[in-house]
Each structure stands twice: as structure tokens, then as C-alpha cells.
Structure 1
Amino acid sequence: MKFSIKIGISAFLAAGLLAGTSSAQTVTDSFDVTITIAEECQITSTQDLDFGSVGVLTANTDATATLQVTCTPGTAYDIGLNEGLGSGATTAARLMTSGASATVGYGIYQDASHSTNWGDVIGTDTRASTGTGAAQSFTVYGRVAPQSTPATGTYTDTITVSVTY
């Protein structure tokens, strides 16, 4: 009889262990992961427009610079360049200054032939493009045309780049 009780207890314990592992349950649920990409543009880099060191202004002096814009894919945008800080300057006739009144006139253009002014009036003289999601490079073409040569010195101006989208 002792033998049958031991077998009965062993069988009971083994059945309990098996029942415990087979009765484990798993429940599941889910959650959503989202991101909304909004239209956006960023000016990712600008480069100074440096005409170098020149003497008498009797011939065209040309220079180029590059700016980069990154916009979300499909986003239409316009790049505008303002008239700068020179007193009396316009986007068609910009002025670098040195001191209170000495100036050097110059122009900024969208093309290498210096025929398309680059200003800040959308639909008139801005540069239009459409975003790709990657940085897009644009060349800024500058020209100092022949003019009366002012006193020696360093002449500067600051142009503000705006991207409208």
C-alpha cells in the first residue's frame, strides 16, 4: 500500500506541474506609431559674396556665392534677397559702404549672364523652386560694374536671405 500511495502522490504532483505550464496565457494589445511631416524649409548654408581686392573700378568685377535650402518634398518655395543695409539701396541697385558716405554699387543676379536681378518680391524677382527633402544649392552671381572709384578701404553690406513657402 505504501507503494501505491507514493505513485499516487507522484502522479498528482506531476499532473499539477504540467497543468501549471499548460495553463499560462498571453494577452495582446497594440498601439499606433505616427509622425506628421509638415511643410517646412530651412536655409541650411550661406556663403559670403567676396569681390576680392581691386583697384580702379573700370571693368566688371564678378563673384559668386552659394546658398543651400532644404524643404520637405513637394513644398513650393521662393528665395528672396533683400536690398541690404546700404542707405538708399534697392534690390536693383545695392550699395556696399565704408564709413559714413562712401559707397560701391553692385548687383546680385540669378544667372551667370547677370541679366536676371535677384530681389525679394515673390513672382517678380525671387528664385522659385520645389523641395526634394535634400539640400538644394543655388548660385548667387554678383557684379560690381564700372563706376567712379571711391576712396580706398573695405566696403561691406549685409544681405538677408528669406525663404517663403
Structure 2
Amino acid sequence: MKKLILTSLIATGVMSAAHAATETSTFQVTAEVAASCQITTNSLAFGSFDPSVGTTGSASLDVACTSGSTGTVTLESGNMWAMSDGTNSLNYALYTDASHTSVWNNVTASQSVTGAGLATPSTFTVYGKIDAQPAATVSAGYADTVTVTVTY
């Protein structure tokens, strides 16, 4: 009877643990971080002004690019730097500096951005100026849309 119990234990695998084997292997984990940029803009509102004098204003824009990437920020107006109320126009210019000496556009000037990470944006100030335009027509609806482009 003892022989029968021992044979049954071996047959059911209870005593087979002494013969267990293992095998291991490895695999690689890889990733690639692609360059990307995000732009956050704020409106530049000149408000009411005296057309015989002109006015200035500013707005900020934030550009965040992946760490280690670089790029340039350009501005472009579809109306060639003129606001319109549908009938009348009002010329303006955008600058990279508060003294209004360096025009910021997509042809003659741009700003460089070095990516410090998408959580760490670079802030740029856009300085706007409307020169005196004594023949400007009264309207509360002058507007233009400026496109901000980051090339990276």
C-alpha cells in the first residue's frame, strides 16, 4: 500500500517540483521624442485713440517647444498690416522692441526660440503702433488677424 501511495503522488505531480526549470530572456524598450511647439496668443487691442497723434499697444505670446529644439517665430497679416472695418482701413505695424525700431513680420524680422520643454514657454512681447492718420474714418469695428508661425 505504501508503494501505491508513493506512485500516486509522483503521478499527480506533487513530487515533481524538484525537476522544475526556468528560462529567461530580455527585450528592448525604446522611444523617440519628436520636436513640437505650442503657441498661446493674446489679443492686441489699441482701444480708442486720436488719429492726429497715433497710439501704441502691446500683447504677449508664449511659445513652448520640446527641450533641445530650436525655431523661429514670425508674424504675418493677410491685410498687409491694415485693420479694416469692411469699408475703411487703418494701417499699423508690429515690432519686436518697445522703441518701435525693428519691424516684426515674416519677411524682414523674426524671433528665435530655444525649446526648454513644453511646460516652460518663452514669452515674446509684440509691440504695435498706429501712426497718426488724420484722414481715418470713425469706426468701432477695425480689425485684422495676424498669423503666428513657429518654424522648428
Structure 1 and Structure 2 fold alike (TM over 0.5): yes
Alignment partner for residue 49 of structure 1, among 44, 48, 60? 44
The Cα offsets for residues 72-99 of structure 1, whole Å up to 9 and x where unpaired, read as 22222111101x132xx3xxxx211122
Give the Cα separation in 2 of the matches to 1:14 and 1:74: 65
The answer to whether residue 85 in structure 2 is matched with residue 85 in structure 1 is no
Which stretches in structure 1 are left out of the alignment for 5+ residues? none
Larger radius of gyration: 1
Give the Cα separation in 1 of the matches to 2:43 and 2:37: 21
Give the Cα separation in 2 of the matches to 1:128 and 1:77: 6
The answer to whether residue 15 in structure 2 is matched with residue 29 in structure 1 is no
Name the TM-score, length of structure 1 as normaliser.
Answer: 0.76
Equivalent positions of 1:77-116 (< 5 A) are: 77-82=71-76, 84-86=77-79, 89=80, 94-100=81-87, 102-116=88-102
Give SS of 1:160's match.
strand
- Percent identity (aligned): 35
Poorly superposed stretches of 4+, deviation over 6 Å: none
Contact 2:95 2:128 in 1 (8 A): yes
Give SS of 2:17's match.
helix
Alignment partner for residue 65 of structure 1, among 59, 69, 75? 59
Give the Cα separation in 2 of the matches to 1:146 and 1:22: 96
Alignment partner for residue 131 of structure 1, among 89, 94, 115? 115
Give SS of 1:66's match.
strand
The answer to whether residue 13 in structure 2 is matched with residue 20 in structure 1 is no
The Cα offsets for residues 130-156 of structure 1, whole Å up to 9 and x where unpaired, read as 111132221111112222142221111
Report how many residues are paired. 148
